[in-house]
Chain A
Amino acid sequence: DIVMTQSPDSLAVSLGERATINCKSSQSVLYSSNNKNYLAWYQQKPGQPPKLLIYWASTRESGVPDRFSGSGSGTDFTLTISSLQAEDVAVYYCQEYYNAPFTFGPGTKVDIK
């Protein structure tokens, strides 16, 4: 099974400032046949189901604000919120969808400083 790790566990950022979350997979999620990274990011607010933000490591889901961006390849990935808004307070999870059991990272909690 692929093991996903995230850092930091939590962070507090001032409104309008940048938030950066890291995700690492225990093996590459880059599929050589299509050169795509099978890595997604989800946002989960309290009492709500997760919401898809980013897939293919860097493709924003329709309707997701452009302050959210994803980068990285192979085993190392980053989610960046370029200018934190109050509504971005949430837990963020990465997930590999390369190989079952499609594991999630442990999550990173983002708060306002």
Chain B
Amino acid sequence: QVQLVQSGAEVKKPGASVKVSCKASGYTFTGYFIHWVRQAPGQGLEWMGRINPNSDGTNYAQKFQDRVTMTRDTSISTGYMELIRLTSDDTAVYYCARASAVVPNLLDYWGQGTLVTVSS
């Protein structure tokens, strides 16, 4: 069965960076885009960007363009999202999600989420 398992919670200081991992199983990793979505406490969902694990091509939301990097390691079927220059506004649960191969950009499976807390 399809599973996306994310790395554990992180606590970071303002100005630091965080790298969240997303290990995929149950399907061919290179056949499906991975998207990243975040959710601040008590707030809605915010799309951050996506990576094509086959080509390594990425698309980022304008808001995160200069601070986010999405990468992947196909040998271990894992995607990564790194966010730099963290502020308290980056405190959120970060989700990875798989995009359907049949319906472009439709998020059909989600990871369990990784809480990133930014605090001095």
**Residues of A with Cβ closer than 8 Å to B?**
1, 38, 40, 42, 44, 49-52, 55-56, 61, 93, 95, 97, 100-107
Q: Main SS of chain B's interface residues?
A: mixed
1/0 per residue B49-75: CB within 8 Å of A?
010000000010111000000000000
Least distance between A81 CB and chain B CB atoms (Å): 20
Q: Report which B residues bind A (CB closer than 8 A).
A: 35, 37, 44-47, 50, 59, 61-63, 95, 97, 100, 103-108, 110-113
- B44–A49 CB distance below 8 A: no
Q: Are A101 and B110 in contact (CB under 8 A)?
A: no
Q: Which of B44, B63, B112 contacts A107 (CB 8 A)?
A: B44
Q: How would you classify the secondary structure of chain A's contact residues: helix, strand, loop or mixed?
A: loop
A-B contact count (CB 8 A): 58
Beta-carbon contact of A103 and B47 below 8 Å: yes
Check if B45 sits within 8 Å of A104, measured CB to CB.
Answer: yes
Q: Judging by beta carbons under 8 Å apart, are A102 and B105 in contact?
A: yes
Q: How far is the CB of A70 from chain B (nearest CB, A)?
A: 13
| A99: nearest chain-B partner, CB-CB | B105
On whether the beta carbons of A106 and B44 are closer than 8 Å, the reply is: yes
Task: Pick 25 A–B contacts, CB within 8 A, sort by A.
Answer: A40-B107, A42-B45, A42-B107, A49-B97, A49-B110, A49-B111, A50-B95, A50-B107, A50-B110, A51-B110, A52-B107, A55-B100, A55-B106, A61-B108, A95-B107, A97-B107, A100-B47, A100-B59, A100-B61, A102-B35, A102-B47, A104-B44, A104-B45, A105-B44, A107-B44
Which residues of A are found within 8 Å of B112, using beta-carbon distances? 49
